[in-house]
Every structure is written in C-alpha cells, then in structure tokens.
Amino acid sequence: MLLTLDIGNTNITMGVFEGDDLILVTRTKTDRNKTPDQYSIEFKNIFGLYGIECEITGAAISSVVPELTRIVCQSIKTLSGIEPIVLAPGIKTGMNILTDDPAQVGADLVAGGVGAADLYPLPCLIIDLGTATKICLIDENGAFRGCTISPGIGISLEALSSRTSQLPAISLTTPSHSIGTNTIDSMESGIVFGTAAMLDGLCAKIEEEYGKPAATTVATGGLSKDIIKSCRRKIIHNGELIHHGLKIIYDKNSKQ
C-alpha cells in the first residue's frame, strides 16, 4: 500500500493506493503543534475509519510546511518502519522546471504538474485553489514554465470579516445572482464570481503571453469543484491530481 501525503498550510491531504488504484483520498487539519505520535494515532484512526489495513509499503510526501515535514515523516516511520520519499531538490520528477530558481517552486505545484503532464494534453494550465490560489503553466514539452500566486478564498473571506466592522464571517456557497441584495449574498457573489472571473482573466493573460492556447485547463484544491462552475472557460476538475503526481514520482525514485 502506497501512502501519499500533501502537507498544506490549511489541510494535510492523504491518498492511499493499492497498486495503481487510488482507493482513498481524505484530509485532516494541519496542526503545527502535534507530535509525531499524535499524527501516527490520527493516521491510524483514519485508516480504521475506512476499514483499511495499515500495511504501508511506501510513502511519498509533498510539503509546503517545512516545520511539519520531519514530524509527519517520523509519524509514518512509527506506523510502518518506512522512510517516506520527500519531494525536494535531488528527487527525480521527470519534469524540467524552467524558473529562475527551481528550488523555490512549491512541492505541491511540482507534484500537480507531474500528474497533469501524465494525464492531459499539453500545454496545460493547472489551477490550484488552496490556501493560496495558484495557476501554473506546463508547456507542450511537459516543462514547468511558471505560475501566478494570489490570496486564496479562505484568506480573502477571513480578511473581509476581520478587517471590516460590519461584514460577518460566512460559509461559502454560490449565490443565485451576481447582484447581491443582502450582505451575505453580496459577499458570496464577490468571492465566488470574483474568483471565477479572476481565473478566467489570468488564464487568458497567460495564454496571450505564452503565445498559444492551453490544450487543457485542470483545477484541483479544496474549493475548486464549486468555483469552476462559475468560470466561462472549460475546466476539468481533478481533486486527486497531486496524489497522481506523487505516485509517479515515488515510482521513479523507488525503482532506483
């Protein structure tokens, strides 16, 4: 059983593979204060919840939370005796990263790029709606060309409610109209339709600068499935993209 983990600033997303089949994707809240043993217990409980035997034969991790990487690695080693492969400089990915400093590219973006290059026609735009909103360009040769980074939906909502006196904290749903007639509908319209319009605009801007249209646009991340419904662009949703990429990277490195 292969375990793939994407450690983000808000959530840790976990995938479980049996052979080539991804049999489980679930997530738990990122907690920088937990010990390795606490994470071991949590992961084991999640396996038990879904009736999965905890027989880990390999693990691959992408992380944008460096202070948690070692802790989660230790928790996996406690559970299984396995030393996880951590996506970092020196790990074989098969992807050429054509940025000013490839080491600065987030591990989650690399894993998503590897997954997209394997699954979809290129060039490809990858929209990742996580703590930050990212749009990455994978060119026709499967190389990572760069990305845009902007505040994520959760950050924007938090800023609205915390930095204004009269705007409440809200849960996010897609409103029926763009012209809100009450405070909550107006906030939802601004966030949902505003994010969708930003994605459409940035994707078009990237294509214009690159000089050719993307053959595929794919979206991943916690809120992506709902947001892309409001986009004008045809966008494929794939919530498992990073895990697919991590499995490819694991296979490349474990064979060596």
* CATH label of the domain that carries residue 153: 3.30.420.40
The CA distance from 204 to 206, in Å, is: 5
Residues labelled as active-site residues: 108
Q: Domain boundary residue among 55, 86, 117?
A: 86
Query: What is the domain extent for residue 53?
Result: 2-86
Q: Domain boundary residue among 86, 113, 133?
A: 86
CA angle, 221 then 223 then 224, to 5°: 65
Q: How many domains does the chain have?
A: 2
Alpha helices in 19-124 (DSSP H): 36-49, 66-80, 107-119
pTM: 0.92
What are the Cα distances from residue 158, in Å, to 122, 137, 228? 36, 28, 21
Q: Domain boundary residue among 32, 53, 86?
A: 86
Could you read off the pLDDT tens digit of each residue along the chain, which spans 256 residues?
999 999 999 999 999 999 999 999 999 999 999 999 999 999 999 988 988 877 889 999 999 999 999 999 999 999 999 999 999 998 999 999 999 999 999 999 999 999 999 999 999 999 999 889 999 999 999 999 999 999 999 888 888 888 887 777 777 788 889 999 998 899 889 999 999 999 999 999 999 999 999 999 999 988 898 899 999 999 999 999 999 999 999 999 987 5
242, burial (CB in 10 Å: exposed 0-12, middle 13-18, buried 19+): buried
Shared-domain flag, residues 46 and 137: no
